[in-house]
Every structure is written in C-alpha cells, then in structure tokens.
Amino acid sequence: MKLTDREKELRFKTALDAIDEILDPSNIENTLQNVCVILSERIPYFDWVGFYLVDREREGELVLGPFVGAPTEHVRIPFGKGICGQAAERKETFVVQDVTQEDNYLACSVEVKSEIVVPIMSGDRVLGELDIDSHELEPFSDVDRRYLETLCNRLATLFGE
C-alpha cells in the first residue's frame, strides 16, 4: 500500500501522539513493545518493527529487544555488521530502499524488500536502535525518516542517560 507523504504525515502524527501517552520510564521493555505495536498497526508498510539495544556487558554488540513480526535468527549483531550494525557504527539513520542492492545485509526473511534503521542516541553514544523492515520496495521518504528520528529522540529520554 503506497501512501502519499501527506497521508503518511497524518498517520505518523497520530502514532506519535499515541506513543506519547504510553511512554513509561519505569518500564522501558513494555514501552518499547507498545511502540512496536502502535507503529506496526498504523503504518501499513511496516511489516517488522523492533528494537536492538546495545549490550551493556559487551559494548559494540546489539541485542534483540522487543519486536512485532516474524521471529528472527539475528539476536545479536556486532557493530558494523548488516544494516543494523552499520547504522550503529555510523550513528545515523540508514535507509535501504532495496535490500538486494546492499552487500552488507543480514536477511531475516525473503519477503523483506527494504529497511530503515534509526539509532537511539544519548549525546554521542548509541543506546540502541529502531529497526523496521518492509515487504515493499522503496516505501520510505523523508517523512518516515523525520518522524522516526523524532520518535527515537523521545525514546532516548526514557533511558535517563
């Protein structure tokens, strides 16, 4: 389902409003799970929505957190590996509109055609990231990037760091 940027704006606005209502710093796990549910329910081309969090014991490694969608074998991802690992290393949003064009990619399912990964930052430090897979080709625009970055900035405040 292709949405215009205007339609996306409306959906993201209501999704972020709903998320603002459920942010709970005393239960981050639950909050992140609810964020996954809200995004996957309201944005039709978000087919897998999940979080990877930086392992506190092993800096430089991401561990799978709450998610909605098909189970993935990629439970731990070192920085630099795959789209997730590259986003963590670069400390910036990584958009791949067609995963077949990306050599450094960890496939989760053959249905996935595109992916966007947005780091959750505290100053210069990566705390984790929001990872979204889509079964559509080239579904992401600047609207997705802008709203998801706003969301991740808000989520960063939950960690209190």
Q: How far is the CB of 25 from ligand SME (least distance, A)?
A: 26
Instruction: For residue 7, give the amino acid letter.
Output: E
Q: Considering only residues 3, 78, 105, 121, which one is a binding residue for ligand SME as defined by CB under 6 A?
A: 105
Residue 7 contacts residue 45 (beta carbons within 8 Å): no
Cα–Cα distance for residue pair 120/112, rounded to 1 Å: 23
Nearest to ligand SME of 21, 73 (CB atom): 73
DSSP-derived secondary structure for 41-66:
HH-TT--EEEEEEE-SSSTTEEEEEE
> Under the criterion CB under 6 A, does residue 139 sit at the interface with ligand SME?
no
Residue 142 contacts residue 150 (beta carbons within 8 Å): no
> Under the criterion CB under 6 A, does residue 37 sit at the interface with ligand SME?
no
Q: How far is the CB of 24 from ligand SME (least distance, A)?
A: 24
> Under the criterion CB under 6 A, does residue 43 sit at the interface with ligand SME?
no
> Under the criterion CB under 6 A, does residue 79 sit at the interface with ligand SME?
no
Q: How far is the CB of 105 from ligand SME (least distance, A)?
A: 5
Instruction: For residue 9, give the amino acid letter.
Output: E
Cα–Cα distance for residue pair 88/117, rounded to 1 Å: 9
> Under the criterion CB under 6 A, does residue 84 sit at the interface with ligand SME?
yes
Q: Considering only residues 106, 121, 143, 158, which one is a binding residue for ligand SME as defined by CB under 6 A?
A: 106
State how far the alpha carbon of 21 is from the alpha carbons of 82, 146, 158, in Å.
33, 20, 13
Nearest to ligand SME of 50, 128 (CB atom): 50
Nearest to ligand SME of 77, 130 (CB atom): 77
Q: Quote the distance between the C-alpha of residue 161 and its chain's center.
A: 20
> Under the criterion CB under 6 A, does residue 133 sit at the interface with ligand SME?
yes
> Under the criterion CB under 6 A, does residue 47 sit at the interface with ligand SME?
no
